[in-house]
Amino acid sequence: MAQDILIIEEVDVRRADDPDDTRVFSINKMGLPSLKRKEAEHTPGGGVGTINFLLPMADAFEPKFAVKGLDLDVLRKFGFTAGVFDKWTFAASLRNKRTNKLVPVRTTIQGIVSEWAPGEHTPGELLDCDHTLKEVRYVDLVIDGEEIFAWSFYGRFWRSGGVDLFAEYRTALGA
């Protein structure tokens, strides 16, 4: 069966512990974190070339979002908030073009807003402000109520499609 076409229609970013902290009117763009496996390059002395071995680890996640105007909440709580990592909800609505059904998307991210980059301001235009999260220690992706992906640095799990890819490693280490 052919894959459905899912079109993003709306997005929002908010603090997970404050559902009223919406940026639905000011958000300009939202970048879910890239999912990339860690690679280890190897060139054997007697080999005919180089290979990049994939490891059971993920590269660092760096989600981003941009708003029009100044986001005073982010600026007042820039970086650490009372020494605690912020937990964010990146939300979107997808339209399934075959069924016309609206599909909710939620990504929960625990990390630190490490970069605030205001763009150049031109009179008569709204200022773009980009935000980047780093030191991400938890991320998940839930589409239409189904967990597609979940990863936790300290929880030491990586679930994809309901399968914990790291379970056998924890077992091998006796943890």
Given a contact cutoff of 8 angstroms between Cβ atoms, the answer to whether 91 and 65 are in contact is no
Structure confidence at residue 10 (pLDDT)? 95
Domains of the chain, residue spans: 6-33+54-137
* φ, ψ at 171 (rounded to 5°): -65, -45
Helix (H, G, I), strand (E, B) or coil at 75: helix
CATH topology of domain 6-33+54-137: Thrombin, subunit H (2.40.10)
pLDDT at position 27 over 60: yes
Mean pLDDT of the chain: 91
Residue 18 pLDDT > 90: no
Q: Please give the model's pTM, rounded to 2 decimal places.
A: 0.87
According to the per-residue pLDDT averaged within each range, which of 16-20, 119-123, 127-131 is highest? 127-131
Instruction: Name residue, tokens 């773009």.
Output: 128
Please give the pLDDT value at position 104: 97
CB neighbour burial string for 140-169, b if at least 16 within 10 angstroms, e if fewer? bbebeeeeebbbebeeebbbeeeeebbeee
How many Cβ atoms are within 10 Å of 83's Cβ, its own excluded?
A: 5
User: Does 79 have pLDDT greater than 70?
Assistant: no
Distance between CA atoms of residues 17 and 155, nearest Å: 20
Please give the pLDDT value at position 86: 84
Mean per-residue pLDDT, 9-26: 91
